Amino acid sequence: MSVLDSKVPKGPLKNKWTDYKNHIDLVNPANKRNIDVIVVGTGLAGGSACATLAELGYNVKAFAYQDSPRRAHSIAAQGGINAAKNYQGDGDSTYRLFYDTVKGGDYRSREANVYRLAEVSANIIDQCVAQGVPFARDYGGLLDNRSFGGVLVSRTFYAKGQTGQQLLLGAYSAMNRQIARGKIEMHNRHEMLDVVKVDGKARGIIARNLITGEIERHSAHAVVIASGGYGNVFFLSTNAMGSNVSAGWKIHKKGAFFANPCYTQIHPTCIPRSGDYQSKLTLMSESLRNDGRIWVPKNMEDVMAIREGRKKPTDLSEDERDYYLERRYPAFGNLVPRDVASRAAKERCDAGYGVNATGEAVYLDFASAITRYGTEQAKIQNIKNASEAKIYELGQAIVEAKYGNLFQMYEKIVDENPYKTPMMIYPAVHYTMGGVWVDYNLMTTVPGLYCIGEANFSDHGANRLGASALMQGLADGYFVLPYTIGDYLSDDIRTGKISTDSPEFIEAEKEAKERLEFFVTNKGEHSVDYYHKKLGKIMWDKCGMSRNEKGLKEAMAEIKALREDFWKNVSVPGGMNEMNPELEKAGRVADFIELGELFAKDALTREESCGGHFREESVELDGEQKGEAKRNDKDFAFVSAWEYKGEPADAVLHKEELEFNDIELKQRSYK
Amino acid sequence: MNLTLKIWRQKDSKTKGQMVDYKVTDISEHMSFLEMMDVLNEQLINAGEEPVAFDHDCREGICGMCSMYINGEAHGPDRGVTTCQLHMRMFKDGDTITIEPFRAKAFPVIKDLVVDRSSFDRIQHAGGYISVNTSGNTQDANATPISKHDADEAMDAATCIGCGACVATCKNSSAMLFVGAKVSQYALLPQGQVEATDRVKNMVAQMDLEGFGNCSNTGACEIECPKGISLENIARMNRELLKATFKS
């Protein structure tokens, strides 16, 4: 029997969440006033959790490294949020959203969690509209939807290309209401350095004030980690510069198991890298694949001519282009899931068909969408015999209304007009499905310690579908955690205030201080970024879009050597009692290096291909699916939950077997 | 390209600051402005000096964290972009670039180019929300149709990223565009009507309390706003405030 207990309620899938809610212990409103909850991170998950917990009556202490909760990286999510509303009448339902998400995750997520997510999805839209989130509407004044990869219905709600921004500002506004009422104590520009356990339970954190450098002790009856994903382990990703794994990694070292670290999402539509100085990669929303067609030239001569500037992509006729997604996956075409689209781009570029100087770019072309919309508009506006130019002008206006800000962003970065010439895109690290292991209550393996949003592992299996991250973040924060945490806190109504003078707090503070002291006194040779870039290169080359045993073993050894060198030779300017961005980075990179090694170990252990994890040794050898990823349900239908044992390489594997009672396990076919 | 940078250095909020000259070489025109700053900082660290502190996070123009007053303009010479989206192709070899923090009484300097914009948060605490509980029992999202025109206009106002360029660029350090955008978003939507009177009064009162100046309609804020928030939002806020004054 595994030490892991997922605590999934008994009974039919459809009734689990309702039955659960009907039978949990509640905390009465008078007692809630005596209970403190710490929330680390104020993005969609953390921000919505803060607002709801405060509204219920708990005293919330919230922490963010940015200068305001409104700046959390959820703000950068572009495309949309899924919800099983079936407003389009296209056959959507809770079950279908559940089914798509489990299938999209390549059957590596926990059924009961995903069903609950699909169930509460519709509430999220109602809630956000009530808060004043300006979702896109049609001319009748009702909410508009679009379609995303991996599904055959239109269930994605959006606010231009800034859906994440609008949802985050919604959660931020709900927080503001509670901050004004004194129910949320907001600590901006603060970073959690460690979690504090008293009698085995999470009872507080050690935090650093990033303006003064002061180290602070904060206590609470429960601690919630909502610190986002760890994509920056690759150095280059679409994450914000400050996004980090430290909160998740620190709790891992204090007893929280870390699940499926190797499940990373490489997003197919990002702006290709252009040079070594590059600090981050920029995503172009997946929504673009609704109207954009992805292609490379069919003939190698054309590839060369384009690279050398002798030909332009618009010079190539239709039959000289290889729309490889439409060719390989006729049923889903350009809207295959992200992992499939990314690997297909890599396959073409590896074969030499990449269209820019680095050989790592494919085209995303809007010409046919512009013509299609233009023709439609000409009909609507009753324009007879419209010229080609007129049709293009009409169509461009529609495309601009849909994706204007994305096109503008592309033009600013690349200095090319994407209405006139196709965009160039290439996959980049975007999201991490892996994260801290949690049970059905979203509690980690440490009592009283919760983990929500991207920071946990629970809902997306081995691959996340587009527009599902915002859904999960808000579901966890608004509608799931506020119930489940009450069940735990009902035992704490007599505990009283937690003292920060206990030996546990003193010891945790001392350790945190010692580490900071090391950084500012160690006068080594290399900057923090030097190590971060080296780590990123190992990760991208050996733990990236495709992985093999030899590479993963090398990666583990190389990361270990890098870690040893880091602790000898890193150099951090400035002191610890002041604002010091380099010192902040040093702590984060130290944790990324440890995580990177566990990441490689996890990828090495999982000898199958599933979702974003592609092992070259595990592919279909023949038949219609030849060359596609091959899952191994017999041996690997489990969650890998790693227990910390000192060295990342010594981590101990615990398996949570995944049971699928309501879905038949199948080869994921998008053909 | 090779550049001379004149940068505001200030140890902390209490110490007096000064402009300091630096040189950077081999800057690619494809770099973003912040990547150029990364190059400078790497150079400073390797020389054993303290790097320049500046705020930044998403580096794709949406979080509103980056600031900088570059050659006398908030977010630099390009239009419709934040500093992180400003590219070096806007400059030429041999240029001297002056880089200062956003300056306003309500935005005190914390260190170098980093300023404290928490006054913006406090204005939002005063009324930047609709009082609805997150019960999950709100009415169906489609129960109240909202005209596409109003929804689109509310969206345009809501795209404000709270960077503070409007304040930094205004000769009066006025925050009217920032406050006007939030007031407008809710004023345009039926959900925002119930609290409209109190909202505009409280937010404007807090804005005044924080030490932001008044609006004298020069429109510099609209031009420098990276998200193109329109001056109409200020007019709408004034209208809302007038309405609120007559009501009470």
- Over the stretch A470-517, which tens digit does the pLDDT of each residue have? 999 999 999 999 999 999 999 999 999 999 999 999 999 999 999 999
Q: First vs last Cα of chain B: how many Å apart?
A: 61
Give the burial class of A375: count Cβ atoms within 10 A of its Cβ; 0-12 exposed, 13-18 middle, 19 or more buried: middle
So what's the pLDDT on residue A668?
Answer: 80
State yes or no: pLDDT of A2 exceeds 80. Answer: no
Whether pLDDT at A201 is above 90: yes
Question: What pLDDT was estimated at residue A151?
Answer: 86
Report pTM: 0.96
Which residues of B, range 140-179, sit inside 8 Å of A by Cβ? 140-142, 145-148, 151-152, 154-155, 158-159, 161-162
Contacts of B155 in chain A (CB under 8 A): 134, 136, 159-160, 166
Residues 199-238 of B with CB under 8 A from A: none
What CATH number belongs to B117-247?
Answer: 1.10.1060.10
> Minimal Cα–Cα distance from A255 to chain B, Å?
30
Alpha helices in A24-72 (DSSP H): 29-32, 44-56
Phi, psi of B163 (to 5 degrees): -80, -30
% of chain A at pLDDT higher than 70: 100
Residues in chain B within 8 Å Cβ distance of A275: 28, 30-31
Looking at residue A409, its pLDDT comes to 86
Cβ of B126 within 8 Å of Cβ of A166? The answer is no
With an 8 Å Cβ cutoff, is B120 touching chain A? yes
From first to last of the 248 residues of chain B, give the pLDDT tens digit.
Answer: 999 999 999 999 999 999 999 999 999 999 999 999 999 999 999 999 999 999 999 999 999 999 999 999 999 999 999 999 999 999 999 999 999 999 999 999 999 999 999 999 999 999 999 999 987 788 999 999 999 999 999 999 999 999 999 999 999 999 999 999 999 999 999 999 999 999 999 999 999 999 999 999 999 999 999 999 999 999 999 999 999 999 87
Residues of A within 8 A of B32 (CB-CB) are 279, 413
Q: How many C-beta atoms surround the C-beta of residue A486 within 10 A?
A: 18
CA separation for the pair A136, A115 (Å, rounded): 27
What does the pLDDT average to over A161-181? 97
Within 324-363 of A, beta carbons closer than 8 Å to B belong to none
Residue A180: list chain B partners with CB under 8 A: 125-126
pLDDT tens, residue by residue, A314-333: 999 999 999 999 999 999 99
Domains and CATH numbers, chain A: 269-429 (no CATH), 501-631 (1.20.58.100)
Q: Count chain A–chain B contacts defined by CB atoms under 8 A.
A: 208
Whether B59 sits inside 8 A of A140 (CB atoms) is no
**Partner residue facing A574 (CB), from B50, B133, B139:** B50
* C-alpha torsion sign, points B224, B226, B231, B235: negative
Q: How far is CA B105 from CA B68, B108, B213, in A?
A: 16, 6, 9
Helices (H), B65-216: 118-125, 148-158, 165-169, 176-187, 196-209
Chain A, residues 55-84, CB within 8 A of chain B, namely 55, 66-68, 70-73, 75-76
Domains of chain B by residue range: 3-110, 117-247
- A244 contacts on B by Cβ (under 8 Å): none
Report the topology of domain B3-110: Ubiquitin-like (UB roll) (3.10.20)
pLDDT of residue A1: 45
The DSSP code for A81 is E
CA atoms of A425 and A363, how far apart (whole Å): 6
Q: Which of B226, B212, B111 is nearest to B165 (CA)?
A: B226
User: Which residues of A have a catalytic role annotated?
Assistant: 338
Q: Would you state the structure tokens that stand for residue A436, as one six-digit string? A: 């801290």
> Residue A211 and residue B110: Cβ atoms within 8 Å?
yes
What's the mean pLDDT in A56-71? 98
Separation in Å, CA of A212 to nearest CA in chain B: 9
pLDDT (0 to 100) of residue A3 = 82
Q: Select from A322, A194, A346 the least CA-distant residue to A268.
A: A346
Three-state SS at A437: coil
Residue A606: burial class (beta carbons within 10 Å; 0-12, 13-18, 19+): buried
At A23 the pLDDT is: 95
Distance CA A334, CA B133 (A): 40
Structure confidence by residue, pLDDT tens digits, A106-124: 999 999 999 999 999 999 9
CA distances from A32 to A26, A28, A29, A162, B42 (A): 10, 6, 5, 36, 49
User: Is B105 within 8 Å of B175 (Cβ atoms)?
Assistant: no
**Which residue is it, tokens 């080609």?**
A388
